[in-house]
Amino acid sequence: MRTIIVFNDNSAEAGNATEFALNIAKKVKADILILNLVRQSQPKPSKTLAAIGGYTSEINTDASETPDRLLGDIESGDYNPSISDIDATTFSEKEICELVIRKNIWLMIKGIETHVTHELLCNIDVQSVLNHVGCPLLLIPNNYKKINFENIAYAVDMRYCRTAVLKFLIELANAYQANLVVEHLSAKGLPPLDDSYALSLFDDEIANRSACDNIYFNNIKERNMNVAIGTIINSLHVDLLALVNHRFHFEEIFGRVIKNCLPEHIPVPVIVFPL
């Protein structure tokens, strides 16, 4: 069974990300595990207790708690995900990594601000976690309210396109019946690809081998990465941007680390795959 981890620091963006996680869990038939990184102000009455990988998790009945806010939503639909949470207030980044690996987590989700409005509520560095695990991290902007994905873009230099990333994105696109667009952007210092060669490379290596009917290709010649990403998001109405951690375009957009807010020209969710 797939499991989605949500990082919860009791912020508004964490609450928004948790509700977003519920939609994804229903689509891909996954369960949700919420990591509570900040101690709650009130003791939490529990509905059920279960041992998960050596830790104790609980589904809350207190309406002020994040998991319980979702309990009323899981009755409808073909699949009702199991929602549990863990007190991770004393966890180090290493312990979170060990949990992610041991539980074979499919996806990590974190809410993130688009403009800084408050100080960091916990000391966990999700970039450090991402650097040491094998599953992607989905960043959900705090003011992003659209639930369903319609157009997913994978920003990559086609010369370094990764099969594992494509497989994950194709599965996600199929679950949402979304379009998947492979956006070729030549890595800094490398020459651009000719349109005909780039298209034939896409057809031979990706389109003809994929199990996705709605997969497309776009060869972007713009060398300014911020302008190129703006074009992808705004002109193509992209609602999920995929990047690979510490590779080419990621570092041009984010720098070396994921900070506590998204770059201002990226108003949509970003999924970052491990290197």
Highest mean pLDDT among 39-43, 54-58, 125-129, 136-140: 136-140
Residue ranges and CATH numbers for the domains of the chain are 2-141 (3.40.50.620), 151-270 (3.40.50.620)
The number of C-alpha atoms within 13 Å of 128 and in the hemisphere containing its C-beta is 10
Q: What is the pLDDT of residues 103-116, one digit of tens each?
A: 999 999 999 988 77
Q: Considering only CA atoms, which of 38, 1, 28 is closest in space to residue 120?
A: 38
Q: How confident is the model at residue 63 (pLDDT cuts 50, 70, 90)?
A: very low
User: Are the C-beta atoms of residues 37 and 122 closer than 8 Å to each other?
Assistant: yes
Q: Considering only CA atoms, which of 105, 136, 135, 145 is closest in space to residue 20?
A: 145
Q: How far apart are CA 134 and CA 100, in angstroms?
A: 9
